[in-house]
Amino acid sequence: MTRHLRVDGPNHDDRLDHMAQGVLGQPLNRLEGPLKVSGRAAYAAEARPANLAYGVLVQASVPAGKVLDIGDAPGALAVIQDKRMVRYAAQGQAQKAPKSGPDQVEYMGQAIALVVADTFEAATHAAQNLMVRYAAEDVPVNPDAVTPELPPQKQASAGDLDRAMATAAVSVDAVWHTPSHGAAAMEPHAAIAQWDGDRVTIRAGLQMLSSNRAQMADALGIRASKLRLLAPYVGGGFGSKLGINAEAVAAAIAAKELNRPVQVSMTRQQVFDLAHRRSETRQRVRLACDPDGRLTGIGHDVLVSNLPGSEFSEPVTQATPFTYEAAHRQIVHAVARIHRGCAGSVRAPGEAVGVTVFECAMDELAEAADIDPVELRLRNIPEDEPVTGRPFSSHKLAEALRDGAQRFGWSDRRPNGQRAEGEWLIGMGMATAVRVNMLVESRAKVTLLQNGQAIVETDMTDIGTGTYTILGQLAGEMLGLPVDRVEVKLGDTDFPPSSGSGGSFGAASSGNSVYLACEDIRRQIAKAMGCDEPDLTLQNGMARAGNIARSLSELIDGSLTGEGHLEPGKTEKSVRQATWGSHWAEVAVNRWTGEVRVRRMMGVFACGRVLNEKTARSQCLGGMTFGIGIALTEAMEHDSRDGHAVSRDLAEYHIPCHADVPGLEVHFLSERDAYVGPLQAKGLGELGICGAGAAVLNAIHNACGIRVRDLPATPDKIIAGLEARA
């Protein structure tokens, strides 16, 4: 029987704190780590089925228009231009294929065909040398060139912000720009498709297999039951593998047509062209407060872009409605329909850039009001969610701010421009961290064998985050087994459908389903023991209840199977769920060259139960590193004439490198959130990003008095400020 739980109310029993194994939360190394560092974990493109052919995507060299003639490719096995091929990637959790019909070009670099050959090199050569003819169209490629749409459901207001601004004791009204970002995961997108009659198996780099299966079946026009997806190891996703993309669809079509397995891998340049980008943003933030720094007005007015008809638009203001109190509020969300590559979810969509900019505005307000930035935030923490009045599921912002200030030595911060070491001006900055939290439906199956070994199966993915490990720890905790007695099997649509990895909901959602499946097994053991399940203690393969103790091998005849099914329920709406934290940075700004070096950085986070102290910490380290990237280095430049992505490799698209990242410090606040299922864990993957860049930018200001509102803060922008002040 499946243990099903819809999370309709709070759960205060802290059951996982009372289990006996003591393995959950431990900072264990990743279980699959040795396979990865020794090259034995095969990623999507690393399988080598016999008779494999190689496909390479042909890309449009015009920003829009119709493909008239694709030309031919001497030496290739096939040039495939199939109307089922998709123009861009599916958005996360979509149940249908993205738009198909590759002969209609919507952006420069779009996949328009596939060339297949016996080697990757031959296919690449043929693809690069096709003489494609187009009927090109003139289309807008710059957000400023069009009148944007204002989707009604994305606008919000309460009170009268204009009046609040006009009558404010202190106010800030400024505009920020952030550029497009690439997910830039280490593993380029790749797929290998192989048919067996009318059934197809596709190995691919994907984050969310159950929706990916629906998208793929829809794209190919086959039933989902005929389609198996495999993604046992994924070399990072950061949103770019949430939905299926051109390579996997093309591989499946080509494999059918050629009747042999076909691999399609994107080059690094193609990843930049074809994976979703984060939209550039223009953000106007208006803040009004009284003389004591209590906010009276909050305005967040944003312009983002996407292709015509694409439903996704960067949810920049996602956290704005509930982060701070204010009676008068307004959100404006405008979408420019332009022909740059498709925009979608990239590393904390929304808050990554929205909180970053908002927290810079808060720093400006603190300065204008002459109030310490930490104190300004503390004064504006709402009791309940503003406007709706819903309670928060848990709320540790104040604690994160106070704890962080103490640990970081915030009281040593000096007024702007008063600390220097040689050529370097030193400053400190801070910001609030906040990210919405959600659960997603998820299922898992757990089998407990007589020999005291457990097997966890779910189509959940581990995209480098540690899912294998935390699910193993969780099952070990629930069933009283050391982790090496638990085998976790992921990334296969033959297993029960899960939440997948995305939006920071993977660990909590899939974890709750594993918890439920284990609870199912615990009940069966309790029955065999003749006790109630809550009275059962499982530890190191032994079951105890009262003064009875028996080994699992005595209790189990063959094996026990448990199934878990978690669904989000009323707590989605009845409470405001979010994760909270604080970011702290100390930077050095070179007074001559405008180079910025982060000297130390710290994050304090509250994300419910921590399932593995080490993998959790790694998530935060990654997030904070992205924050450094957003603040200082990352920009996907578009050519203003045709919209094409100009920085298309990792030499030109500047992810922070080791030298940009100092020792980062991460602290977790102890927290159990009762509204997010029995695991009491919330999302963590993205929280470390949200606001981190603002701490860096605010530290730059403290160091040298310069506000960079056009991100990233590269040397040119700093020296422009330095020159203007000279």
Percent helix, strand and coil across the chain, each to the nearest 5: 30, 25, 45
Token representation of residue 654: 């500047």
Question: Minimum Å distance from CB 274 to another protein?
Answer: 15
Residue 149, helix vs strand vs coil: strand
Question: Minimum Å distance from CB 356 to another protein?
Answer: 18
Question: Minimum Å distance from CB 660 to another protein?
Answer: 5
Question: Minimum Å distance from CB 40 to another protein?
Answer: 22
Angle at 62 between CA 56 and CA 65, to 5 degrees: 105
3-state secondary structure 536-594: CEEECCEEEECCEEEEHHHHCCCEEEEEEEEEECCHHHHCECEEEEEEEEEEEEECCCC
- Using the minimum distance from each CB to another protein, give the nearer residue, 501 or 590: 590
Angle at 708 between CA 706 and CA 712, to 5 degrees: 140
Q: Report CA 153 to chain centroid distance, whole Å.
A: 24
Amino acid type, 323: T
Binding site for another protein (CB under 8 A): 61, 108, 121-122, 124-125, 128-129, 267, 269, 420, 422-423, 590-595, 597, 632-633, 637-641, 644, 646-648, 651-652, 654, 656-660, 714-716, 719-720, 722-723
Question: Minimum Å distance from CB 591 to another protein?
Answer: 8
- Using the minimum distance from each CB to another protein, give the nearer residue, 336 or 722: 722
CA–CA dist 256, 184 (Å, integer): 30
Residue 263, helix vs strand vs coil: strand
Question: Minimum Å distance from CB 426 to another protein?
Answer: 12
Sheet holding 537-539, edge to edge: 537-539, 542-545, 548-551
- Using the minimum distance from each CB to another protein, give the nearer residue, 605 or 653: 653
List all residues 6 or more positions away from 507 whose beta carbon is below 8 Å from its beta carbon.
Answer: 465, 467, 470, 611, 681, 683, 684, 685
CA–CA dist 220, 232 (Å, integer): 23
- Using the minimum distance from each CB to another protein, give the nearer residue, 318 or 647: 647
Helix 692-704 / helix 715-725 crossing angle, nearest 10 deg = 30
- Using the minimum distance from each CB to another protein, give the nearer residue, 96 or 268: 268
CA–CA dist 289, 294 (Å, integer): 5
List all residues 6 or more positions away from 652 whose beta carbon is below 8 Å from its beta carbon.
Answer: 646
CA–CA dist 505, 684 (Å, integer): 8
- Using the minimum distance from each CB to another protein, give the nearer residue, 179 or 205: 179
Catalytic annotation, pick one of 257, 665, 686, 723: 686
Question: Minimum Å distance from CB 650 to another protein?
Answer: 9
- Using the minimum distance from each CB to another protein, give the nearer residue, 226 or 599: 599
Whether 686 is a known active-site residue: answer yes
Catalytic positions, written as ranges: 686
